[in-house]
Amino acid sequence: MSWIREGELTIIERFCANIIKAGPMPKHVAFIMDGNRRYAQKCHVERQQGHSQGFDKLAQTLRWCLNLGIREVTVYAFSIENFKRSKEEVDGLMDLARQKFSRLLEEQESLRKHGVCIRVLGDLPLLPLDIQELIAQAMLATRNYNNDVSESLLDKCLYTNNSPDPDLLIRTSGEVRLSDFLLWQTSHSCLVFQSVLWPEYSFWNLCEAILRFQMNYSALQKARDSYMEERRRQQMEKDQAYVTKKLQQEGFASHGDSRRRRTLLQKCTAMREERIQGFLQALEHKRVDFFERLCTVSA
C-alpha cells in the first residue's frame, strides 16, 4: 500500500477542498514541521514516538496536498542545529528518516507521473562554503563585468534554483521564526504560523493556512510583481549605462546613434547570458562534486 496515497478524504473534506480550490491555490507549499517533542510530552509517550508520528503526519499531509492539487511541497525535516541534540535522539531521527524517506523515494516515480515533486531539505547554509569560494573566484574573473552580479544571479546559484519560490510557508507549534529555513526564497511568500503541534496537524489546519494565503493573495502578487519589475529596471539601467560608456568610447555623443545603441544593448545582453551560463555550469559541476563528497563521507 502506498505510504502517501492510502486513505481518501471524507465527503465533507472533499466538499471543502472543492470550495477552496475555486480560489487561487498555492502551487508550492513549504512546511516547518515543529512540535514533535511537546506532543510526546503532552500525550505521555516516548519522544521517539512523537517523531515517528511526525513522519507519519508528513505522509498524510502530502496526501491532502495531492488532493488539493498542490504539486510541490518542501519540508524542513532536520536542521544543522538539531545535531546538538542528544546522540540517542539524533540516531533515532536518522533511523526514522532512512525508513520513511526511502519509502517516499520508492514512490517518487509513480508520484512524478501525477506531476508531483517532493523536496526534502535539511538545513544547508545558503551556499556551501566551497561554492561561496567558487563565486568569489568567478567574481574576480569577471570583475570587468560587474553588471552580471544581480539578485537574479544569486537565485540561480541556490540549490533550490530549479523550483519556484514557495507561495506559502507554514510553521506549526506556535513558534514564530524561520530557523534558517529558505530565508531568501520566502521573502515574498505568505508566512503562516499555527499553534497546533505537528503530529496533530489536521486537514482543517491546512485549509485554514490556504485560506489565509487566499485572503492575502492580491497583496502578495502585487509585492512580487513590483519586486520583479524593480529587478528588471535595475538590470536595464546597468545595461544602458554600459552601452552609453561604450558609445562614448566609440566617439558618439552620450545618447549615441539609436540603431547602434540598440545593437550594442542586444549584444551586451547576449554576452552576459553567455557568461552567466558558463558560470552556472561551472557552479553545477562544483555542486555535484560537493554532494558526491558529502555522500562518500556520510556513507
- In the list ligand IPE, Mg ion, none, the entry touching 107 (Cβ below 5 to 8 angstroms by class) is none
Rule CB under 6 A: choose which of 48, 61, 160, 173 binds ligand IPE.
Answer: 173
* Cα–Cα nearest to 78, from 33, 30, 125, 28: 33
Taking residue 70's Cβ as centre, other Cβ atoms within 10 Å add up to: 22
Rule CB under 6 A: choose which of 49, 60, 67, 82 binds ligand IPE.
Answer: 82
CB of 198 to ligand IPE, least distance (A): 6
Query: Are 34 and 173 in contact, with CB atoms under 8 Å apart?
Result: yes
Q: What is the dihedral of CA 169, 174, 177, 179, to 10 degrees?
A: -90
Query: Are 166 and 182 in contact, with CB atoms under 8 Å apart?
Result: yes
Q: Which is nearer to ligand IPE, 117 or 196 (CB)?
A: 196
Q: Helix, strand or coil for residue 49? A: helix
CB of 163 to Mg ion, least distance (A): 25
Taking CB under 6 A as the rule, does residue 49 contact ligand IPE?
no
CA distances from 262 to 66, 82, 133, 255 (A): 48, 54, 36, 11
Taking CB under 6 A as the rule, does residue 73 contact ligand IPE?
no
CA distances from 54 to 58, 59, 107 (A): 6, 9, 19
CB of 117 to ligand IPE, least distance (A): 20
Taking CB under 6 A as the rule, does residue 193 contact ligand IPE?
no
CB of 103 to ligand IPE, least distance (A): 18
- In the list ligand IPE, Mg ion, none, the entry touching 160 (Cβ below 5 to 8 angstroms by class) is none
**Looking only at residues 22 through 41 of this chain, which bind ligand IPE when binding is defined by CB under 6 A?**
32-38
Rule CB under 5 A: choose which of 34, 72, 107, 165 binds Mg ion.
Answer: 34
Taking CB under 6 A as the rule, does residue 165 contact ligand IPE?
no
State the Cα–Cα distance between residues 70 and 27, nearest whole angstrom: 5
Rule CB under 6 A: choose which of 3, 55, 64, 76 binds ligand IPE.
Answer: 76
Binding site for ligand IPE (CB under 6 A): 32-38, 54, 76-79, 81-82, 93, 173, 175, 177, 179
- State the residues that interact with Mg ion by CB under 5 A: 34
